[in-house]
Chains A and B, each alone.
Chain A
Amino acid sequence: MSDWKGYVYNIAFFLNGLLVFLLFFESRFAVPQWMQALGRMHPLVLHFPLVVLILYSLWVMIVRKPDSHAWNEGLADSLLVIGTFTAAVAAFSGFVLSHEEGYESDTLLWHKWLGIAISLAAVVWYGARKSLLPWTVGAKVVAGAFLVLLFVGGHLGGNLTHGEDFLISPLGPSAEPVQHVAFEEAKVYEHLVKPVIEQKCLSCHNEEKSKGGLQMQTEALLKKGGKGGMLWDTTKADLGLLISRLHLPLDDKKHMPPRGKVQLTDEEVVLLAAWVKSGSRFDQLVSSLSPQSPVYSYAQNVLGGDRTEEQYAFSAASADEVKKLNTNYRLIKPLSAGSPALFVNFYNRANFKSQDIEGLLPLKDQIVSMDLSKMPVKDEDLKTLAKFPELRRLILNFTDITGSNLTELKKLANLRELSLSGTGITMAHVKSLEGFPALRRVYLWSTGIGPQDLETLKKGQKIAFETGFRSDTLVVALNPPVIINEKQLIGKGETVAMKHQIAGTVIRYTLDGSEPDSVSSPVYEKPIAINGNLKLKARAFRKGWYGSTQVSKLFFKEGFHVDSAQLITPVDQRYHAKGAASISDGKVGDTERVSGTWLGYVENDFQSYLFFKKPVKASVVTVSTLRSFGSFIFEPTRIEVWGGADPKTLKLLKVITPGVPAKDIPGTENIVYEAGFEPQQLSCIKLVAKPLAKIPAWHSGKGNKGWLFVDEVIVN
C-alpha cells in the first residue's frame, strides 16, 4: 500500500464514520450554512464514483486468474481507493443536500440509502480486497451487485433532479403546466373538468385526430358531440354517451379511454358524472356549490381547498403606521402573522367620527376587510370608503346609511362581500349592486325591502343574497308577565307590581280567581293594592303575538304580629324547618323550595298555639298548606281553630273539612284555607290540622298515610 492510498482511504473511512454518526442523529441535525456549499457539490462529485466504481466492477468481472495479463494489482487498488473516496464524498455531500427542502420524499429515501450503501460497501470492499481476490466467485458477485446498486442509485438520482419522467417524457404527450387558481374563483368546468379532458381524452379527440368524429377542445365542440350524437343526456339513467362509456368494463371495445391509454381515476369519473348530472354548465363557480356535492370535495382535493390563503399582490404597510392608527375603538390587525392584508373593526358608537375612516387612508392599499357595524356611518362616508381599493369585505350592518350613495362603492374592484343588514336600503339600491365588478355575496336582512322583492332576489345568479329571518308572517306566543313582588305577605299600604320585558305589551289581570282574557279583564296600569288574601292571575297580550300563558300568585294580607308560637305535637324530623318559628316568620307560599320553609306531618296531627301579649281583635285565621300528590303531600282532612285568653280557656271557633281528593291533580300548589268567625278579642289561638289518614285508591301510595305540609298561619 503506497502512502497516498493510505491517506485517501483514511479520509474515506473518516467521512463514512461521520456519515453514520449523523445518520443516527439525523432528526436533530441542522445543516450549518458553510456546509450547504459542500452539499451542493453533490451533482459534481457523484459522477466520479459512478464511473470509477463501474470501471472497477466491470474489470473484476473480467479478470480470470492472477497471472492473466489483465491483472494489474497496483492499478486495481488505485481505482478502488479512488472510487471509495469519491463515493464517500458523494454520499456525504448528498446527505447534506438532502436536508435542503424540495425533494420528492420516496425517491429521495431510496436514492439516499443506496448512495450510503454504496459508499459503505466500497470502504468495506477496499478493506477486504486482499481476502476477496478478483478471480474468486465471491468477488464477481459483489461486483455484479455493485453494478446494480450503481445503476439504480444513479437513475433515482437523475429522477430527483430532472423529474420522474424526464427520460421517457419526450416519448409521451407533453403536459400543460398546472394553473393555480383561488378556491373562490375556481370554476367547475374550467378548473376541474377541463384539465381531466385535456389529460385523458384530448390526445384522441382533437383537431388532427378526431376519433368518432369527436373533438373536445372547447365548449362549443363538447356541446356538438361526435358521430354517436350528443355527449350527455340527463334524462337517461346513464347520463348519455360520455359517462356511460367511462363506466363500461375495461375489456369492452367501447370503453373510454381505450385499453392501454391512461385511465380516469374513480374520483375523476365521479366528477364528470356529477358535472353532467347537474346540467353540464360551463360558467358555474365551485364556491356556489353545496359542500356536500362530490364536485366540491373533488375541488377541495385538487385545488387544495383547505387552508388556501389568498395571495395578495400588495406589500405590507409599516408596522409603526399600523400601530399608530390602532386605538381602543379602532382595531387594525393583519389577517395572520406575516400577511400584508389588514382588517379593521370599529367599536363603540359614541366614540365614532367620520374622520376615523379617513384616518385609515394611509393603509388603503392594505385594508381588505372593514367592519363598521352599528357605527353612525353616513351616506357621505361611502365616498371615503370607496377610496380603499383593496377592500374585499365590508360590513355596514345597522349603520345610518340610506343607500342613496351606494353606487360609490362600485369603484371597489375587489369588493366581494357586502353586508347591509339593518340599514334603510331599498330594492332600487339593490338593483344597482348588479354592476359591482367582484361582488358575490350581499346580506340584506332587516332592511326596507318588501317580502315579495326579497323572494325575487333569492333567484339572483351572480350575487348570492342572504335575506335572513323574517318575522312578519310569524306569530308566536308571548312569555308571561313578571310579578315583581317576591314576598307574598303584603303589609298595609304595600302594592303588587308587574312588568313585561317587551315594551308596549299589555298585561291584563284578575283578582277573583277567574282566567284573565284579552277583552274584559282589567289592564294593568299601576301597582295593585291588596286587600285580603287573593290570587293574582295575569297574562300578556300584544298585537301580532299570541297571548301568553297565565302567571299567578297568592297574596296574603299581613296579619297581627304573633308574639310566640308553640308546637304541641312534634314535627316530622325530616321536614322540621325552623320549628314553631316557621309558622309566623312571614315566609309563605314557596312551592319551589320545600325543605327549610315547610313543616311536615305524617304520623301526628299538626297542632300549635299562637300567643299574643296584647289581645287582638281577630276574625279570620289563614292556614297555608301545600298540595303535591306526586310527592304524597295532601290537603288536610280537618282544620280546627280554637281561641281564648289562654290555653286553658279555649273555645272551638271554626272547623273546616276539605275532604279527600277524588282524582290526581299534577303539579305542586299552595292551598290556602281561611277560617272566619265572629270578631273577638283573643290572646291565644290553637290550630289543629289532620293529615290524610288513608291515601285513596287512585294514588300509587294507596292505603298509606298522606303528608301534611304547613308553612304559615296568619291571623287577621
Chain B
Amino acid sequence: MEKPIFDYGVNTTRRHFLSKLSLGLGSAALGSLLIPDLFKGGGGEPDVNELMAGLPHFAPKAKRVIYLFQNGAPSQLDLFDYKPMLNKMHGQDLPESIRGGQRLTGMTANQAKFPLAGSIFNFKQHGKSGAWMSELLPHMAGIADDLCIIKTLNTEAINHDPALTFFQTGAQVGNRPSFGAWLSYGLGSENQNLPGFCVLLSRGKGNGQGVYSKLWTNGFLDSVHQGVQFSSGENPVLYLNDPDGMDRTQRRKMLDNLAELNQGTFNDFGDPEITAKVQQYEMAFRMQTAVPEITDMSKEPESIVKMYGPECLVPGTYAANCLLARKLSEQGVRFVQLYHQGWDSHGGLPTEIKGQCMDVDQASAALVTDLKQRGLLDETLVIWGGEFGRTNYCQGTLTKDNYGRDHHPRAFTVWMAGGGIKPGIVYGETDEFGYNIVKDPVHVHDFHATILNQLGLDHEKLVYKHQGRRYRLTDVAGKLVKGIIA
C-alpha cells in the first residue's frame, strides 16, 4: 500500500503534467510580452536617429583636428624608435622568431636574407620624458614636451593604398567615408563660410606614393561632407572665382534668382537635395570672400615666417600647407588633412629621409608652437604620422652608410599634440629589434576611437545606416587608449 501511494506522490499524472506545462508556457508568454523586440530580427540596438541626436555626446577636449599625414610611411627606426641593438647586429639576419611569419610585400618576400640595418643617424633624448629622437628632427625635439609620441601604432595592411585607406576611412577597401567626412557629419562645420573638411597636398623629393581623392571621399554620407582640396596654384579652391565680366552684385542676383527657381522645384517635388544645393551655392558665395582672407599670407608677421621657415610662403610646399592649415583651423575648419609625399624609402633611405625631414621638421614643430602661443593648442589636435612603419631589415644591398627599408605594419610611430592628449609622454614600447610591440599596442581602430573621444564623440554611437547596416568609423572594433588622454 505504501508503495503505490509513494509512486503516486512521485509520478506526475498527465493532468498534472499538462497543467504545469501550461503554467510554464504561460510564464514564458508573459515574459515575451515584456520584451518588445524579442521576435524582431536584430532587435535590441537603438535607433540611428536616437544615437545621432545630441552631438557631441560629451564636452569635447578638442574641437578641431590637423592631420599631418606623412604619405609613404616614414622610417620610425631612423626618427623616433631608437634601437641600438640594430646597430650592434648590423648586417646579421633578422631572427625568424622575431619575424614570426609576418606577411611581406612582393618587394622583399623573395629576399634570401633579411640583414638588420641600424640607423646611421644619431639619437638623443629630449624633453622631460626623455623621448628619443634622431638628429634629423631638431625642431620636433625642441617641442618634445608638447608631444605624445606613440611608438606602438599597428595596422593590418602591408601596402600603401590599403594602409592609407585604412587610416583615412577605417577600412582597407575604398568607398567608406573619410575621417574628416565623419567629423563633418557628426559635428558639422564651425564656420559656415568654409567647408568643414579641407585637404592640402605637398610633395617631397623622396620616393613618392599616390594620393587619391578617394581618401577624402564622403563615401555613403551626404556629399556636403566631402573634403575640399586646396591647390597651390593661383586659385586655391577651383571654380570659386567669378568668371571674367561678372561682379559680385551680379553673382548675388543670379544666385537669388536661381534660389527662387530651386525653391519652386522644391515646392513641387520636396526633394531635400534641392535645398542642400541652394545652401551649397550660398556657402560658395561666402567662401569667395572667406578664402582669399585665409590664403593671403602677406599679413603674417616675420616671426611666423622664421618659425615655419621661409618656404612657408612658397605655395605648395609642406611648410606653406602647415601655415595654411593653421589659418584654416583657426577659422573653424573641423578637419584639415595634409599629405606630404615622398617617404617611401625602399632604397637610398639615408639620403631620402634627410630631404623629407628638411621639408617637414621645422614646419610641423612650428605649427604646434604657433597654435600654443595663440591659446588654441588645447582645442586643436595635431597628428603626425604615416600609414605604417618600415622594416628593421634592409631591402636591397646593405652597405655601411646606405640601406633601404620595406613596409612594416606591426609597429610604428605617430605623434599627437594638443587636443586634450597628454603632452610630453612616450606611449608604448617595441622590442629591442623594433619589430614587435611589447607594451600598450594601439591599433588603427583604437587610434580613431581615441581621436573621436577627444572630439566629444563616442565612436560606438557615431553611426550611419547604409545598405541595411549601421556603419562606424571604427567598424566593429576600437577601444579608447586611456593612457594618452590628459
Contacts and interface: CB of A to CB of B under 8 A. Distances in A.
A469 B303 contact: yes
Interface stretch (B66-74, B210-218, B307-315, B428-436): B307-315
Given A338-B54, A397-B375, A329 B6 contact: no
A635 B26 CA distance: 99
**Chain A contact surface mostly:** loop
B290 A348 contact: yes
Interface string A381-416: 000000000000001010000000000000000000
A395 B59 CA distance: 19
A18 B58 contact: no
B156 interface: no
A331 B424 contact: no
Interface string A5-40: 000001001111110011001011110100100000
Interface string A520-539: 00000000000000000000
A277 to B, nearest CB: 15
Contacts of B297: 501
A336 B35 contact: no
B233 interface: no
B373 A443 contact: yes
Interface string A542-558: 00110010000000000
A130 interface: yes
Nearest to A131: B10
Contact of B9 (A131, A310, A395): A131
B20 A13 contact: yes
A396 to B, nearest CB: 10
Contacts of A441: 375
Given A331-B192, A337-B54, A349 B293 contact: yes
A482 B317 CA distance: 14
A2 interface: no
B27 A421 contact: no
B422 interface: yes
Interface string B24-41: 101110111011111000
B57 A337 contact: yes
A477 to B, nearest CB: 8
A290 interface: yes
A519 interface: no
A395 B330 CA distance: 11
Interface residues of A, number: 70
B191 A28 contact: no
Interface in B97-141: 128-129
Nearest to A300: B486
A264 interface: no
A482 B314 CA distance: 9
Contacts of B191: 331, 345, 347
Contact of B27 (A17, A25, A329, A347): A17
A93 interface: no
B43 interface: yes
A445 B373 contact: yes
- Chain A CB within 10 A, most for which of B37, B129, B422, B482: B422
A6 B203 CA distance: 86
B293 A13 contact: no
Contact of B373 (A131, A468, A472): A468
Nearest to A504: B302
B253 interface: no
Contacts of B54: 337-338
Contacts of A470: 303
Contacts of A501: 297, 310, 313-314
A35 B375 CA distance: 53
A291 B290 contact: no
A421 B375 contact: yes
Given A328-B286, A348-B293, A373-B330, A29 B34 contact: yes
Interface in B57-106: 57-60
B249 to A, nearest CB: 16
Contact of B31 (A22, A373, A477, A502): A22
Interface in B390-434: 422-425
Contact of A345 (B60, B190, B369): B190
B374 interface: yes
A30 B31 CA distance: 11
A178 interface: no
Nearest to B377: A466
Contacts of A337: 53-57
A182 interface: no
Interface string B324-349: 00000011100000000000000000
B287 to A, nearest CB: 11
Contact of B19 (A10, A29, A349, A417): A10
Contact of A35 (B6, B34, B286, B303): B34
B167 to A, nearest CB: 25
Given A13-B23, A331-B191, A478 B31 contact: no
Contact of B375 (A290, A466, A502): A466
Contact of A468 (B59, B369, B423): B369
A5 B485 CA distance: 62
B435 to A, nearest CB: 27
A471 B24 CA distance: 83
A69 interface: no
Interface in A437-471: 441, 443, 445-446, 466-471
B55 A421 contact: no
A698 to B, nearest CB: 18
Given A331-B192, A337-B57, A469-B369, A130 B425 contact: no
Contact of A417 (B6, B23, B36, B375): B375
Contacts of A445: 373-374
Contacts of B27: 14-18, 21
Given A337-B57, A466-B373, A32 B34 contact: yes
Contacts of A307: 58-59, 485
A21 B34 CA distance: 11
A476 B193 contact: no
Contacts of A502: 302, 305, 310, 313
Contacts of B31: 18, 21-22, 25
B4 interface: no
B267 interface: no
A419 interface: yes
A300 to B, nearest CB: 8
Contacts of B145: 290
B60 A468 contact: no
Contacts of B301: 422, 446
B479 interface: no
A184 to B, nearest CB: 12
A503 interface: yes
Contact of A309 (B59, B310, B486): B59
Contacts of A338: 54
Interface in A592-631: none
A292 B424 CA distance: 7
A474 interface: yes
Contacts of A471: 302-303, 306-307
Contacts of A263: none
16 contacts: A13-B23, A18-B30, A25-B31, A25-B35, A130-B10, A131-B6, A305-B486, A329-B192, A329-B193, A348-B290, A373-B374, A395-B375, A468-B369, A469-B369, A501-B313, A502-B313
Given A18-B31, A468-B373, 12 more contacts: A21-B31, A29-B34, A32-B34, A131-B6, A307-B59, A328-B192, A331-B192, A373-B330, A443-B373, A470-B303, A474-B306, A476-B306
Rank and list the top 3 A-B pairs by shortest CB-CB distance, nearest first. A468-B373, A337-B54, A17-B27
Interface of A: 10, 13-18, 21-22, 25, 27-30, 32, 35, 130-131, 290-292, 305-307, 309-310, 328-329, 331, 333, 335-339, 345, 347-350, 373, 395, 397, 417, 419, 421-422, 441, 443, 445-446, 466-472, 474, 476-479, 482, 501-503, 544-545, 548
